[in-house]
Amino acid sequence: MTLPAQAMRDAFLLRLLEAMRQDDKLFFVTADFGSPVLDRIRAEHPNRFVNVGIAEQNLINVSAGLALEGFTVFAYAIAPFITMRCYEQIRVSLALLSEVRPMNVNLIGVGAGYSYVVSGPTHQCYEDLTIMRCLPNLGLLSPCDHVMAAAMFDTCIARRQPKYLRLDAQVLPIIHQEYTPNLGRGFASLRREGKLCFVATGYPVHTAIRVADEFAKAGRELAVIDLFDMAGFDKAAFLQELTSYQALVTLEEGFKGRGGLDAMLFDFLANEVPRPLLNLGVTPGYRFELGNRTELHEQVGIGPEAVKRAVSAFMDKHQL
Amino acid sequence: MKADTMKSPENELSAKAQWIWRETLRIHRQAPETRLASSLSSIEIFVALYYGGILRHDPAAPLAEHRDRLIISKGHGSICMYPILADLGFFPAQELERVCKSGGFLGGIPDPVIPGYETVNGSLGHGLGVATGIALGLKRCASDRAVFVVTGDGELHEGANWEAAMFAAHHQLDNLNLIVDDNRISMLDYTDQIVSHVDLAVRFEAFGWHVEEVDGHDVVQVREQLVAMKARHASKPKLLVAKTKKGHGVPKLEGEPLCHIINPKPALLDQLLLGEAS
């Protein structure tokens, strides 16, 4: 049976709503950002729901204080604002402090990449993977569909550490049909045939699959890995998986060559498994053109057509 | 010792403040990387909190549930806490001999690895927000523990403080007690010359806080105000503005707008420690 697709935040927050009924140490804090499910949390648990207003710096510090008193905190805001507006608070009150004071604060950022399509660069988010992966002690979760987003609620509860969960704002097709993805591995192999493998995270997993499907029609198989836990993935298992391929392509909805997924893979490969790597990401710059998400992606180098061209050239160059 | 004839709680508190002042000078004499001037303005605040029976604390279990929480936001300006914590048994007094030295844990800016410190203090403007979250958490747990925060007046230029101030008042966090070490000097100048804090009390009152003021170097008065402040539960967060002098008691620091970054010469510190300078 195929599940109906949902918004990631609704799927995640429904799990939180259910859990809050059982566990009175769960606390929800929002920076004036909502959803229909959130209205139910507020109505059912008014003592453990707080809206700090449009004040992300305080959102983080209040969350840290609640966590120090033993609450498991879910802090909720639009992705660029919950990462960049309050980066110092995240660094000092979460990443640094959790070095000596264990605390479970889950930063739920909605609006990965271009998912706020027409809102422009302030609400789009191409820097968060870079700056958040830089912080020690911080988990970094990036689901590509609502099934994975909901499953990650278990990770949020189980791992007592600060984390950033990067959710897409749009309803995306389901990739993970089963509700039991292997969360501990931190990655999922979605296609395993071929000499070249995509490593993608978030929305670009959909693009990678689309490109792989089109290549397959032409008789060329491409593999696809969804790397959904960028900080806590099983390095030995990931290494073993990557050794199956002759070359790799990273695909991210973040600035290319600026320290995001591509830097992580370059570092990993350089130390562990030397392979040619093509890094595809958003051409650095801020753009104001309007269009649908695919059109915007084509303009910055991560749309399906742009990816197909780049991958074809790369495969030719390496005779794959 | 003649002091026996003078023994009263008030005199003991004043004597303790004087002793901590000397210990702070002595530490700075050994570790000139520490910030002396801003650590001298806050002495009576910490002495009153710890020795005046205000702050429930447990040196054997610094993070025990039954403690009152103290968030020291002006971390650099709390070197005077080192001798207090050592004296109370939070860590051995020998640690005071290796402030800023290899192998020690008492740095130029206190870290949360120090028993008695709750949070990260080096970066200014975070303490009040975190304390606000703690105060909310305690309320939601129906705890009667109090939360104290010590900030400087200079760090109130950080806007996040005012986000927290609004929040605390809205949520009627009357278990939250803010003490501003109002020494009126930031790093480069008087705060009033940089961006004025004139009428800090009025500003906080306008934000919905209950505000009192005190001579921050009269430790007995500070203690009395803190007793009243802690006992007051009237649906408002509380502020005590402690009027202090940066570099208190040290010539060439007190009254000098650049005292934050001035290190007195060792000879002067020696004179002061011997009680020879005026």
Q: Where are the alpha helices (DSSP H) in B121-275?
A: 127-140, 160-170, 191-194, 200-206, 219-231, 266-273
CA–CA separation, A157 vs B260, rounded Å? 45
Q: What letter does residue A127 receive in the DSSP assignment?
A: S
Range of the domain at B168: 2-273
Is A65 in Cβ contact with B136 (below 8 Å)?
yes
Write down the pTM of the prediction.
Answer: 0.96
Number of domains in chain A: 2
Coil/strand/helix, residue B150 = strand
* DSSP codes joined into one string, B83-107: HHHHHHTSS-GGGGGGTTSTT----
CB distance B129–A62 less than 8 Å? yes
- Asked whether residue A22 is domain-assigned, the answer is yes
The pLDDT, as a whole number, for residue B5 is: 53
Structure tokens at A122: 């302030």
From chain B, the residues in CB contact with A62 under 8 A are: 129-130, 132-133, 136, 164, 167
Q: Same domain for A161 and A306?
A: no
Which of B83, B30, B36, B98 is closest to B266 using CA atoms? B30
Rounded Cα distance, A299 and A306, in Å: 8
A182 is a domain residue: no
Q: What percent of chain A has pLDDT over 70?
A: 98
Are A38 and A106 contained in the same domain? Answer: yes
Sign of CA dihedral A212, A213, A219, A223: positive
Element at B179 (helix H, strand E): strand B176-182
> Could you tell me if A126 lies within 8 Å of chain B, comparing CB atoms?
no
Pairwise CA distance, residues A154 & A132, whole Å: 21
Q: State whether residue B64 sits within 8 Å of chain A by CB.
A: no
Structure confidence at residue B187 as a pLDDT band (50, 70, 90): very high
Of A95, A77, A197, the residue nearest A137 (C-alpha): A95
Q: What is the pLDDT of residue B6?
A: 64
Given CB atoms, is B88 within the 8 Å cutoff of chain A?
A: no
Q: Which residues of A are less than 8 Å from B131 in CB distance?
A: 65
Same domain, A140 and A205: no
A3 falls within a domain = no
Query: What pLDDT band is residue B81 in, cutting at 50, 70 and 90?
Result: very high
Q: How confident is the model at residue B3 (pLDDT cuts 50, 70, 90)?
A: very low
At B2 the pLDDT is 45
- Looking at the fold, whether A151 and A227 belong to one and the same domain comes out as no
Residue with tokens 């780049």: A310
SS3 A301: coil
Q: Check which CATH number belongs to the domain holding B269 and give it.
A: 3.40.50.970
| Chain B residues touching residue A89 (CB < 8 angstroms) | 126, 129, 160
User: A71: nearest CA in chain B?
Assistant: B137
Residue A268 lies in domain = 187-317
The answer to whether residues A217 and A258 belong to one domain is yes
Instruction: Tell me the CA distances in angstroms from B134 to A64, A93, B66, B76, one per residue in order.
Output: 8, 12, 14, 22
A55 interfaces chain B, CB cutoff of 8 Å: yes
Any CB–CB contact under 8 A between B165 and chain A? no
Q: How far apart are CA B135 and CA B130, in angstroms?
A: 9
Q: How many domains does chain B have?
A: 1
Domain shared by A47 and A146, yes or no:
yes
What pLDDT is stored for residue B108 in this prediction? 95
Q: Which residue, of A132, A167, A202, is where some domain finishes?
A: A167
Residue A113 lies in a domain: yes
- Picking from B137, B164, B171, the nearest residue to A71 by CB comes out as B137
Residue B256 covered by a domain = yes
> Could A96 and B120 be called an inter-chain contact, meaning their C-beta atoms sit closer than 8 Å?
yes
Residue A121 belongs to a domain with what CATH number? 3.40.50.970
Please state, in angstroms and rounded to a whole number, the distance separating the CA atoms of residues A315 and A211. 14
Q: Are A138 and A204 within one domain?
A: no
In a domain, A142, yes or no: yes
Across the range B204-219, mean pLDDT stands at 98
Residue range A260-311, pLDDT digits in tens: 999 999 999 887 888 999 999 999 999 999 999 999 999 999 999 999 999 9
Torsion of CA B34, B125, B221, B2, to 10 degrees: -20
Q: What is the CATH number of the domain that holds A298?
A: 3.40.50.920
Distance from A122 to chain B by nearest Cα, in Å? 21
Structure-block tokens of residue A98: 């959790």
Contact assessment for residue A44 and residue A20, using Cβ atoms and an 8 Å cutoff: yes
A71 and A123 inside one domain: yes
A163 and A32 in a common domain: yes
Is B171's Cβ below 8 Å from some Cβ in A?
Answer: yes
A contact test, residue of B73, B120, B138 with most A CBs within 10 A: B120
- Please indicate, yes or no, whether residues A273 and A161 belong to a single structural domain of this protein: no
Q: What b-and-e string marks burial along B60-93, b requiring 16 or more CB atoms within 10 Å of the CB?
A: eebeeeebbbbbbbbbbbbbbbbbbbbbeebbee
The answer to whether residue A88 is domain-embedded is: yes
- Asked whether residue A106 falls in the same domain as residue A143, the answer is yes
Looking at the fold, whether A55 and A154 belong to one and the same domain comes out as yes
Cβ–Cβ contact B164 with A under 8 A: yes
B127-140 helix and A56-68 helix, angle to the nearest 10 degrees? 50
Is residue B101 domain-resident? Answer: yes
pLDDT digits (tens, 9 = 90+) for B9-61: 889 999 999 999 999 999 999 999 999 999 999 999 999 999 999 999 999 99
Asked whether the predicted pLDDT for residue A52 surpasses 50, the reply is yes
Q: In this predicted structure, what is the pLDDT of residue A273? A: 84
Residue B278 included in any domain: no
